[in-house]
A and B are shown apart, each in its own frame.
Chain A
């Protein structure tokens, strides 16, 4: 054990030990494996779905699961499994889009607030407080209503509301990092503020933002499916898990089993996103296991 912990001090050894740790965590392997498969299914959907997901067959509506249609057909006779597969790509894209918008705006704002301090910090902090006070899904619903229904508009609104979370985390870390001796040293060498921030402060302040991003993917997925459920996200005839739930709900008394597959798809994907976030957190935590 003693030799092992000595080895981890060398930066070269860190990557393989982290990888080994990852491979020993069933939750991490299952989450990442599932997400890779889902991404492949989502990307390859146009070629691999058993039926065209938008093909209407009014002679065969709300069929129970069978050998031909594994998950049955919906109220327009469309194959549920195909629609489920076709929706995977949009859902994953939407989740990553919202989180990237929130992160790419929030991180620089947080660094600026933390590094500049004083009045700049006070102004930015109040704007962030106000943004944090906007009621998340209702605000997104309103913005989508004004900008027009669609996935990108919806995720833009969700991303904007994720901005303050990122900014606050990075601001807090920046406040700590800028007091460090090495930042003083590099400033004494005459580095410009831009260089100090981008090369020395940001890399040390961004870790918690990356962890936050992993955990927010599931939040974004639930927001996307909520908007699609309300008819404001993915637009018909294209399929989305939220939209499929909304249709199934209308026919709940006739074909209740239609409700289960899209719901489980959202649940399992959100669990996998959280598993991914948890894995990233442990991998980046310097106090975490390095066995």
Chain B
């Protein structure tokens, strides 16, 4: 049964989402109004005629006060209308929906790699501090945060795509078409994308497990004669689980943003590539829509992380 304390905490956390959602949508909305030039001119592209500018101004109601425009925009967003691309004339929401699966595939794949490499490394390092595995973990953690992940992607394309031909160099096969080929073509981008995630998970798990193993209750357990192995597995890892949940949320959110570069390197038809393509072509309505969707994903992931935290952490009861 969920205790009153937990329920109160979850309720508070749910209430906090409302202002954050309003602000996130407002920041995304504001993007078009950041520019020192008239947003209508901004959207009109190269060498627009006065008539085109006027048309855009009327279409988006740029003459209204900003807050009224925000209200109308938000109303449309709530009804699933993210406006239309000025170049392809397609509804932005449809474009995003079509590109979402590719991005989700490489991000989830990168998360799987990051966890399956980072978790054993971090746990192994903390279980035997100073051993070779600890040194390896430290090296991997410093390399992972410092290496430009898109460069890793380029080198992977060169080695495994072009020279060895083990994986397709660029592009992505849709998962719905052929799951096996989709996984294969997502492997290189997912490895490149997982770099900082591996580092972060290794570092945080190592630190958190070291802290638990150095605590007084572990000393008591050892004193009463419990074998080291069962201390590590039964008592150490239970506490590490909470850290893992937090760090997974954090890493996932970073990867979502990093897709803009990785998808460009690998020419993957996902949301990240669409964002960089739209930015270069000054199709800012599309950029705005993608930023909004990414931000909503991040807000949701943060909420899930915090709720999981409230449910898992035994200290919440105190």
Q: Do A and B come from one complex?
A: yes
Q: A253 → chain B, closest Cβ, in Å?
A: 6
Q: Is the CB of A142 within 8 A of B23?
A: no
A-B contact count (CB 8 A): 147
Interface-facing stretch out of B108-116, B184-192, B277-285: B277-285
Q: If A135-B253, A135-B257, A226-B261 touch, does A142 touch B146 (CB 8 Å cutoff)? A: no
Q: Which residues of B contact A226 (CB under 8 A)?
A: 148, 150, 258, 260-261
Q: Which residues of B contact A218 (CB under 8 A)?
A: 145-146
Q: B127 → chain A, closest Cβ, in Å?
A: 23
**Is the CB of A130 closer than 8 A to any CB of chain B?**
yes
Main SS class of interface, A: helix
CA of A143 to CA of B288 in the docked complex: distance in angstroms? 10
A229, A259, A274: which contacts B155 (Cβ < 8 A)?
A: A259
CA of A147 to CA of B42 in the docked complex: distance in angstroms? 10
**Is the CB of B302 closer than 8 A to any CB of chain A?**
yes
CA of A130 to CA of B282 in the docked complex: distance in angstroms? 25
Interface-facing stretch out of B24-32, B68-76, B204-212, B307-315: B24-32
Q: How large is the interface on A (under 10, 10 to 19, 20 to 34, 35 or more residues)?
A: 35 or more
Q: Is the CB of B34 within 8 A of A146?
A: yes
Q: Is the CB of A143 within 8 A of B24?
A: no
Q: How large is the interface on B (under 10, 10 to 19, 20 to 34, 35 or more residues)?
A: 35 or more
Interface-facing stretch out of A12-20, A49-57, A113-121, A265-273: A265-273
Q: Is the CB of A230 within 8 A of B276?
A: yes
**Is the CB of A131 closer than 8 A to any CB of chain B?**
yes
Known contacts A134-B27, A231-B280; 7 further A-B pairs (Cβ under 8 A): A126-B23, A134-B295, A135-B298, A136-B258, A141-B276, A142-B284, A274-B145
21 A/B residue pairs, CB under 8 Å, sorted by A: A130-B19, A133-B295, A133-B298, A133-B299, A134-B27, A138-B291, A139-B291, A141-B276, A143-B31, A147-B34, A222-B148, A226-B258, A226-B261, A231-B280, A232-B280, A248-B154, A249-B265, A256-B158, A263-B148, A267-B147, A271-B142
